Amino acid sequence: MPDPAVLLEGGAKALIYASLLVTIGASAARWLLLPRAAAELGGGCVAAIEQWIAYLAFVAAVLALAASGLRVWTHTVSAFGFDGARSWETIKLIAWQSRWGRDWKFQMIAAFILVVTCAMAWFRREAWPLATLATLVFTATLPLLGHAAGNGARMALHAVHILGAGFWLGTLAVVLLIRIPAASPDSMEPRLASGRARLLLLRRFSPIALSSAMTMVGAGLVIAFLYLGSVSNLWTTAYGRILILKVALVVGVAICGYVNWKRLRRMYDEDEPSTAMVVLEVTLAAVVLIVTGFLTEMGHPA
């Protein structure tokens, strides 16, 4: 039976990861994806999509702030149990007097700045550089409360791993979640026009997805090598077995991505794109985040 405290901490971290990936994906969509499709979508459509991207970034930032705040309670549960976590004194001890609390405060400040800058980008597009910078800063604070804490090289690896995941899976989630208006003002049926615009975005996303996935996998392999110590630890330790599950899920996500890429290459502009495989890809990615949240709360062999 898993420790309830580990489940709580892992769940809170999974929510932080999911929220951060969406904010990273929003910035990637704003700076890399939209310019690649702007000429074909038209100025009005691009402006509307950009507004939706900023809205998603703001919602994700609020969730990241809430989940970061929740972590001080879940960490108190880990340290003092559920009874101890009912006391404000023990929560204050964790938040204000522990080494963990010092780094947690940095993360909370970064999350708050992220919310503010994403809100600014939602109302004024000129604030996008600030929102993107805040996203990078928040990403850099995440390893402060994990296995890599105190080791600059490992923290950098974790940050690169998260950024790669955000550019790949976060951007894909953004493309799936945004509301896309008609791509042109002609008489074609609006739902079909929106479908064509989403198809165009997915096509332009493929090169970004490939390089991002390679970055994420490369950094992840190095991290796994550092934390496992030996290959046998993959099946002889709980950490290794959960890592195998994560790798299997990532392979599933990659297979979905490959199928989507092949399918998109065969489509023409008049086709109505099906998002079923894209939804499956994002769903598997969400499961990966949940597993990752629990994995980061487990002791590693090396």
196 has a pLDDT exceeding 90: no
239-259 per-position pLDDT tens digit? 999 999 999 999 999 999 998
CB 174 within 8 A of CB 161: no
Does some domain include residue 232? yes
pLDDT at 192: 45
CB 146 within 8 A of CB 296: yes
Does some domain include residue 281? yes
Which domain does 48 fall in, by range? 4-295
CB 95 within 8 A of CB 101: yes
pLDDT at 2: 64
Average pLDDT on 273-302 reads: 88
| pLDDT more than 70, % of the chain | 93
Does some domain include residue 30? yes
268 has a pLDDT exceeding 80: no
CA 40 to chain centre: 28
pLDDT at 101: 96
Does some domain include residue 155? yes
2-39 per-position pLDDT tens digit? 678 888 999 999 999 999 999 999 999 999 999 999 88
191 has a pLDDT exceeding 50: no
Does some domain include residue 144? yes
101-126 per-position pLDDT tens digit? 999 999 999 999 999 999 999 999 99
Total count of domains within the chain: 1
Does some domain include residue 301? no
